[in-house]
Chain A
Amino acid sequence: MEIPYTVTARPDTGLWNAKIGVWLFLASEVMLFGGLFSSYIFLRLGADYHWPVHVLNVPWGFINTLVLIGSSVTVVMAWASLKMRKWGAYKVYMAITIACALAFLWIKKNEYTDKVHHIAVKTKDGTIIEGHFPDHGKHWINFDNVTSIKLSTRESDPEYFLESCTTPSPKFTTPAGKTVSLDDAGLASIREEAGKEPSIDLKAATPLTFKVNNSPFPPFNTIRSYNDSMLSFKDGTVINGKLTDYKMTLQVTRVDVRDVADRSKSQAWTLMGAGWKEAFEHHEHQKLEHAKEHNPEADPYKNPDFVRHALTMEVHTAKPDPSHHAPEGVGELLQSFKDTLFSHAEHNGPVITLDPKKDIAFWSNWLPKWNTYFAIYFTLTGLHGLHVLAGAIVLTWFLVVDTKRFKNDPEHLANRVETGGLFWHFVDLVWIFLFPLLYLL
């Protein structure tokens, strides 16, 4: 069936059909993103922590903004070229638009990866220490004297249990009194005995030792929870024994003492050394002098912007550098541009060792688990990223598949590109708000 009014206007609406269609769709999209932007407002107003400002990678966010603006220009130029029946120019502009979409997604992918590898630790006194694991995120929990196991029978294979057990060829007794090993035949007999039960209690013939990878990075994370005497794997298997050793090694990039009652006694200085305490006091003093120069009357500690600058410190060297003067204002931006694009300052911080039981109140990578800011960040940019992907697919279709239409019905192709272009501009428009809200303000 021929779709009517693809080129000529429908008499009652005065518009070709797809035009009114895409605008109705965009109207619903405004409400969809509007709902999520409202969530952002609500989460930000209700946040019981310091809302992150300038913590994301501003230079890459800025570059992505330029990429999208550029693609908005080229997509409208592609449409204009079609209207002027310039086929060659259309192809070039459309190809650039699609390349921009892919560049945007590639940059976004890198930003997401960085967040997965960014570790934030809240110590027991409220200090926040950020950094990353030097050894590709591997750190081990050692468990020994494990004799009682609740083995999950639901999963196809209790792989986390098997790969972290360091005792060679362990033997177990089932509730029915059978002695089994965990090879294929043993597992089959265990599953038969368990029947429909989701788990089965096993006793180890000799106490077992375990070395479990506590990586927070999916899909390498294996642990659901643990304490001194119990460790629960993601697949549901639970072992009972004794936690013997667990240390976290962290290469520090940033310290935040805004929530510490007595900054001079922050756990950060115990962990990093007294030199860093001096460096921090010097840093805070510099910021204070600077603030007093500008406004001698006001109490700078009542200004959250000052507090954020004075009580958080970027760490870019292995040893404290007292002569270091952190740049202010726009200088900070230029410095971060230089650091981001031309050097790897984030790999130079001091390496500290934390005892999770003694030192840490809570830790996570920069994912929704860390705070509601990252929850709304991933929701908004994830949905926006899907829109970029969808737009790229539609525009690629016009460029690669819909080529015959230029000869047969060029005005229809121009209208199709205008429809796709309207969607693409909307995607740009959402980013125009997302960039300042998530990266800058």
Chain B
Amino acid sequence: MGHDNSHDDVSSHVKTYLKIGVTLIVFTVITVAISFIDFGGNNNMIVGMAVATFKASLVCLIFMHLNHERPLIYKVLVFTVVLAIVLFTLFISAHGDPLKDEGFEAPAVPVKTATAHH
């Protein structure tokens, strides 16, 4: 067999699958409920994404069997995860862009006045 799940193994996993399903539903309810509570600033986004990442991890580890896979799969996924993190980091860093700072769009006028005084 290519996979190391013997039939007995699988039957012992069935209960786990159901438990994970219930956990995912509970955390979906939590996600919806806490989105109606204001944590201030970006905290709602951080909390929401943390819960989503936790849920996604459960799906990956249990449903997609990444808790017991062959080494080659992990080698492929290391690249995926690293590249995805780089991608998101690049885009989230736009948060620090001065584009929305006050006066960013119209700096010309005060600069001109300053030079006129000198």
Which residues of A line the B interface, CB within 8 A? Answer: 5, 7-9, 13-16, 19-20, 23-24, 27, 30-31, 34-35, 37-38, 41-42, 45-46, 54, 58, 62, 65-66, 69-70, 72-73, 76-77, 80, 83-85, 303, 305-306, 329-330, 332-333, 411, 415, 418, 421-422, 425-426, 428-429, 432-433, 435-437, 440-441
Contact = CB atoms under 8 A, between A and B. Distances in A.
A211 B10 CA distance: 68
Contact of B32 (A62, A422, A425): A62
B19 to A, nearest CB: 10
Interface residues of B, number: 55
16 contacts: A9-B2, A15-B70, A15-B72, A34-B83, A34-B88, A42-B94, A62-B28, A73-B17, A73-B18, A73-B20, A83-B5, A418-B3, A436-B48, A436-B49, A440-B31, A441-B44
Contacts of A306: 38
Interface in B22-81: 24-25, 28, 31-33, 35-38, 40, 44-45, 48-49, 51-52, 55-56, 59-60, 63-64, 70-73, 76-77, 79-80
B59 A425 contact: yes
- Please provide the 10 A-B residue pairs with the shortest distance between their CB atoms, ordered closest to farther: A73-B21, A440-B35, A16-B2, A9-B2, A27-B80, A83-B10, A38-B91, A305-B38, A41-B91, A436-B48
Contacts of A437: 48
A411 B90 CA distance: 44
B36 A31 contact: no
Contact of A80 (B14, B44, B77): B14
B59 A429 contact: yes
A13 B75 CA distance: 11
A69 B19 CA distance: 12
Contacts of B51: 436
A42 B76 CA distance: 28
Contacts of B72: 13-15, 20
Given A31-B84, A305-B38, A440-B31, A8 B1 contact: yes
